[in-house]
Amino acid sequence: MAERVLVVGGGVAGLLAARRHARRGAVVTVLEAGDGWGGRVSALSLAGLQLDAGAESFATRTPHVEALARELGLGPDIVAPTRAPAWVVGPDRSYPLPTTGWLGIPTRPLHHEVRRIIGWGAAADAALERSRPLGEVADDATVGSLVRSRLGERVADMLVAPVLTGVYSRPLDELPLAAIDPTLPRQLREAGSLLALAERRRRLAPAGAAVMGLRGGIWRLTAALADSAREAGVRLVAATRAESAEHVDGAWRVRAGGGTLVADTLVLAVPRPAARSLVPELPEAPPERRVALATLVLRAPELDASPRGTGVLALGGVTRAKALTHATAKWPWLRDAAGGRHIVRLSYAVADPAEDLLAHALPDANRLLGVDLPQSRVLASTLVEWLDASPAAVADRRPLAGLELVGSAAGLSGLAAIVGAETPGT
């Protein structure tokens, strides 16, 4: 009798796990609470366009996502974004970030692009970092503590914080270095200095853009992956929420859709709070914050010249949004599809679920882009919310008999990490 596998969660991680089990001969069912597939890598329809509801690109620091896209027949549609520096907008000044660096850490502190932002004194002090003994680096050391002590407050606040807080949705002083990559504390100890580590990591980065996308939207990766899972024999069941799970007599019994499904192996591909609500024996995880993404379709000739490049990072509470992507400036295929309209995406941390974040979107976009568009220029808008994109890592991805954790349930964040975890030999 073939092994029965039940996957809860129809995002990229769940679909990949389902396909893996099906290909080895298991009978696999995927339950997805929502109406479609993809989770954070899904589509939304707005103003006659199919847009990315969440992720719009994938990191190229590993080859795994590109390899998956090519396997799924999407290789010809892999595209690079427009090459332009990100901008920072603060209470008193706006500036483009240096084109050299790693995670905002300047590999050349005395370069004129860096000096223009932080000044000669701070740049000279940062340049001396290599000569200072590193000392002890704890595995749980935060990026904020390391950068402030090694490179100075101005480097931390004006260069590193804008980059990382926009990606990880938490203050620099609350972001462990290991949350970016679990091996970074060890790599820092081996390198002997932050500047040496930044140089090493930048040299190891693949040539070209740090991220890539797909013509038509990164959501196409999920659509193709769902088709591939079906071809492997996976049964995909949408709009069906798993309500409870218990392990009895060597099998998992999961209540869902008014009935009970029995599986030899249960795969959880949902955020940690949802995973623990199903299986209370799992260790308690820190509460995950919610993030929101507002998408605006604008009639705005003022933006034709891309006055703030392809993206803007907010500093010092200058806007309720923490970051903005000028999507039609970033992706030439989207600019062509939009037919003269402009699409911007604004990222928010959700502090109060009752707050009308969409009401902030146009004022925030005006402030970050340096324009003054009236509400009549907004042709369409929408807001989607997600759990925090940087969950806490788990020590064991198979913590109970017949239970497997993947994706955010396993503490993985981003396509590169999720696809990489499903790639043999990684």
State the pLDDT at residue 166.
Answer: 65
DSSP, res 176 = B
**Amino acid in the structure at residue 63:** P
State the pLDDT at residue 109.
Answer: 95
State the pLDDT at residue 316.
Answer: 82
Q: How far is CA 105 from CA 60, 142, 199, in A?
A: 19, 14, 9
**Quick one: residue 374, left, alpha or beta (phi over 0 = left, psi -120 to 50 = alpha)?**
beta
Half-sphere exposure of 255 toward its Cβ, with a 13 Å CA cutoff? Answer: 8
Closest CA to 288 of 411, 108, 107, 132: 411
Contact status, residue 57 vs residue 243, Cβ threshold 8 Å: no
Angle between helices 219-231 and 12-23 (to 10 degrees): 20
Question: Residue 271: CB partners within 8 Å, gap ≥ 6?
Answer: 288, 387, 391, 408, 409
Strand ranges of the sheet holding 242-248, from the earlier edge strand across to the other edge: 242-248, 251-256, 259-263
Render the burial of 2-21: b for 16+ CB within 10 Å, e for the rest: eebbbbbbbbbbbbbbbbbb
CA–CA separation, 240 vs 7, rounded Å? Answer: 12
Q: Are strands 87-89 and 311-314 parallel, antiparallel or unpaired?
A: parallel
State the pLDDT at residue 207.
Answer: 54
Question: Residue 64: CB partners within 8 Å, gap ≥ 6?
Answer: 416, 419, 420, 423, 426
Q: Report residue 163: phi and psi, to 5°.
A: -75, -50
User: CA 190 from chain center: how many Å?
Assistant: 28
CA–CA separation, 359 vs 10, rounded Å? Answer: 31
Closest CA to 270 of 241, 290, 229: 241
The domains of the chain, with CATH numbers, are 4-79+214-287+390-421 (3.50.50.60), 99-204 (1.10.3110.10), 290-387 (3.90.660.20)
* DSSP sequence for 3-25: PEEEEE--BHHHHHHHHHHHHTT
Spell out, as residue ranges, where the chain has pLDDT lower than 70. Answer: 166-167, 169, 205-209, 388-392, 425-426
Closest CA to 152 of 197, 200, 114: 114
**Quick one: residue 340, left, alpha or beta (phi over 0 = left, psi -120 to 50 = alpha)?**
left
CA–CA separation, 202 vs 126, rounded Å? Answer: 18
CA–CA separation, 338 vs 332, rounded Å? Answer: 10
Tokens of 404: 């497997």
Does this model's pTM top 0.85? My answer is yes
Contact status, residue 326 vs residue 89, Cβ threshold 8 Å: no
State the pLDDT at residue 1.
Answer: 81
DSSP, res 249 = T
State the pLDDT at residue 391.
Answer: 60
Residue reference for tokens 């209370």: 280
Mean of pLDDT over the chain:
92
State the pLDDT at residue 232.
Answer: 98
Tokens of 54: 């969440």
